[in-house]
Amino acid sequence: MRINDTVSARLEHLGAELRHGVSLMERTSLGIGGITDEILFRRYESIPDVMTLLADESIPHRFLGGGTNVLIADGELPYIVLHLATLHPGMRIEGNAAYIDASADLGGMVTFCAKRDLGGMEGLIGVPGSVGGALRMNAGAYGTSIGPHVREIELYRAASGELETIRGSDIRFDYRHTSFAPDDVMLRVKLELPPRPFKEIVAGIKVCNEKRRASQPLNQKSAGCIFKNPPGGSTGRMIDELGLKGHRVGDAMVSERHANFFVNAGSASCSDMLRLIDDVRERVHGSYGVDLENEVIVWQN
Ligand code: EPU
């Protein structure tokens, strides 16, 4: 979708930066996605006015975080994307509290806190994406997730049209799911973290990194796990037991290394990936009677 010159001028006046004809292939870890215009927010304070303008002009839009857990349709997209792009995402520590901008890199945040002797998030080190994306889906790995550490969140609430600060306890953080409204936009978070010597944190990080390197296809284009695990079960193990490693639709392929990672093994299209997802879901249902739920967020037109 393209923004016309009049709206472009008004957006720029509001302090939003506009990029025309951006390929979202380059914005996603899967390397899949169509083309559209993009608004970059360098300052969070401009968000409410920009959102009002987009509503007044009936311009459909979606917020894109780190692009590491999303599958986006191909071709010209019928919406624009919005992206928090603060040049130097704020991160600061006060006692046991870390105040982090949502646009910060998740791994960068873990390291920043570790260097200041605050731990508890060692497992998150290799999880790709932004702090905002991690908050929205309660990202986690190796027994750690971000939710339990959250004390306050500053966000833009589409429902009120305002920037608000809410308590962490007002949000439910479940397994890869939260009770944020779909159009809430995370801006900043206050985390409370256990003090731990840097050396100990680094040792914990090393263990997680080694496990991850041994089991996940880190050098291939993927969105991490495609499906959630069912309660008490392992999706990766089921897909593996069905002999589906290497199974492909076009260039969308079940990873040879971890069967719940689907990789873009060349120039996969969104429809290749969707067909592979449906195919595997049906096979797992046929053999195990389990209905797999997507972990990846799908943006179909
Ligand atoms: N397994 C297989 N074959 C495979 C993959 C896994 O047999 O191809 C078996 C493993 O041997 C193991 C069990 O399945 O016994 C579980 O595998 P793993 O330890 O790799 O964990 P997972 O449940 O598949 C979850 C998260 C990952 C996270 C790891 C480590 C989900 C959907 N996935 O994977 O998160 O990194 O644990 O904590 O919850 C993600 O969310 O995108 C993600 C990658």
Tell the burial category of 60 from Cβ atoms under 10 Å away from its Cβ (0-12, 13-18, 19+): exposed
In a shared domain, residues 16 and 62:
yes
Calculate how far, in angstroms, residue 196's C-alpha sits from the geometric centre of ligand 1: 27
> Which ligand 1 atom minimizes the distance to the CA of 223?
42
Helix 106-115 and helix 198-215, axial crossing angle in degrees, nearest 10: 150
In a shared domain, residues 130 and 70:
no
Residue 130 DSSP symbol: B
In a shared domain, residues 286 and 232:
yes
* Distance from C-alpha of 46 to C-alpha of 91, rounded to nearest angstrom: 20
* CATH number, residue 251: 3.90.78.10
> Which ligand 1 atom minimizes the distance to the CA of 224?
42
Of 137, 168, 199, the one marking the end of a domain is: 199
Q: Best of 137, 207, 211, 215 to mutate for ligand 1, by most ligand atoms within 8 A of CB? A: 215
In this structure, the strands spanning 297-299 and 97-101 are: unpaired
In a shared domain, residues 160 and 176:
yes
Whole-model pTM: value is: 0.95
Of 23, 49, 84, the one marking the end of a domain is: 84
The SS3 assignment for 49 reads helix
Ligand 1 proximity of 258 Cβ (cutoff 6 Å) = yes
Does residue 91 contact residue 99 with C-beta atoms inside 8 Å? yes
In a shared domain, residues 50 and 96:
no
* Distance from C-alpha of 175 to C-alpha of 232, rounded to nearest angstrom: 12
The structural domain count of the chain equals: 3
Rg (CA), the chain: 20
- Give the amino acid at 138: N
Q: Which residues neighbour 256 within 8 Å (Cβ) at sequence distance 6 or greater?
A: 217, 245, 246
Structural domain containing residue 108 = 91-199
* Distance from C-alpha of 226 to C-alpha of 260, rounded to nearest angstrom: 6
In a shared domain, residues 76 and 102:
no
Does residue 22 contact residue 38 with C-beta atoms inside 8 Å? yes
In a shared domain, residues 104 and 182:
yes
Q: What is the pLDDT along the chain (301 residues), one digit of tens a residue?
A: 999 999 999 999 998 999 999 999 999 999 999 999 999 998 888 999 999 999 999 999 999 999 999 999 999 999 999 999 887 889 999 999 999 999 999 999 999 999 999 999 999 999 999 999 999 999 999 999 999 999 999 999 999 999 999 999 999 999 999 999 999 999 999 999 999 999 999 999 999 999 999 999 999 999 999 999 999 999 999 999 999 999 999 999 999 999 999 999 999 999 999 999 999 999 999 999 999 999 999 999 8
Ligand 1 proximity of 255 Cβ (cutoff 6 Å) = no
